[in-house]
Amino acid sequence: GAGVSQTPSNKVTEKGKYVELRCDPISGHTALYWYRQSLGQGPEFLIYFQGTGAADDSGLPNDRFFAVRPEGSVSTLKIQRTERGDSAVYLCASSSEGGLSTQYFGPGTRLTVL
Amino acid sequence: SQQGEEDPQALSIQEGENATMNCSYKTSINNLQWYRQNSGRGLVHLILIRSNEREKHSGRLRVTLDTSKKSSSLLITASRAADTASYFCATTQGAQKLVFGQGTRLTINP
């Protein structure tokens, strides 16, 4: 019955480093989403998984960003060669079916790139 | 890119008063949802209104949707200090993703 969890809650890294952010969706939810939220803005869509496959990755800003969900449950967002502009809160959400069903959000990971 | 715009960007009222926030969007939608966010972290789903609905209630929340004007409003009645948060509207446009506005920062003063 737990909600969506994300680890770590905070991540500080140096410019140029590689980071991985993890999301554990609600058990049984087939759809998983990643969003990014900059300070003072609303969340912006990055990528959507239905099961193991990325059904829509149109929001990924460039090829430094990549996400996987190998077993259809946990997902990892990977950012290579981080830049200061990548600093933001990265939010994960899951829903029971995708489509128009409600998305439930995790607490987010605050990424700071120095 | 942001789909909608919330109005006002910030709102400060006294406890017990009603708070009204507005959201406008640009394209046709399947549904519109309102979320609350405390301290810039996780979003809590408040209410969903479908494109063929005009009004929906949930506790102290009342949401209206006017698809002809591409706008929605969220009314919180009898506000409490715990309602202090940022409120976002989000639309679903056929695809799976949510498109959020920039939010309204609501402050309830005791």
pLDDT of B3 above 60:
no
CB B74 within 8 A of CB B21: yes
What's the pLDDT at B40? 63
CB contact under 8 A, A43 and B98: yes
Across the interface, which of A103, A107, A110 has its CB nearest the CB of B98?
A: A103
- In angstroms, the separation between the Cα of residue B55 and the nearest Cα of chain A is 18
Q: What is the mean pLDDT of residues B2-9?
A: 74
Residues of A with CB under 8 A from a CB of B: 4, 31, 33, 35, 37, 39-45, 48, 50, 55-56, 59, 89, 91, 93, 98-100, 102-108, 110
Across the interface, which of A41, A48, A103 has its CB nearest the CB of B102?
A: A41
Q: Of A111, A49, A23, which is closest to residue B97 (Cα–Cα)?
A: A49
d(CA B107, CA B26): 27
Give the pLDDT confidence of A52-70 residue by residue, as tens digits.
998 899 999 999 999 999 9
What's the pLDDT at B1? 43
Here the tokens at position A104 are 């439930």
Q: List, run by run, the mean pLDDT of 10-residue segments along chain A (114 residues).
A: 90 98 95 94 93 91 96 96 97 84 92 97
What's the pLDDT at A2? 81
Q: What is the mean pLDDT of residues B79-91?
A: 95
The reply to whether B47 touches chain A by the CB within 8 Å rule is no
Here the tokens at position A45 are 């869509």
What's the pLDDT at A64? 97
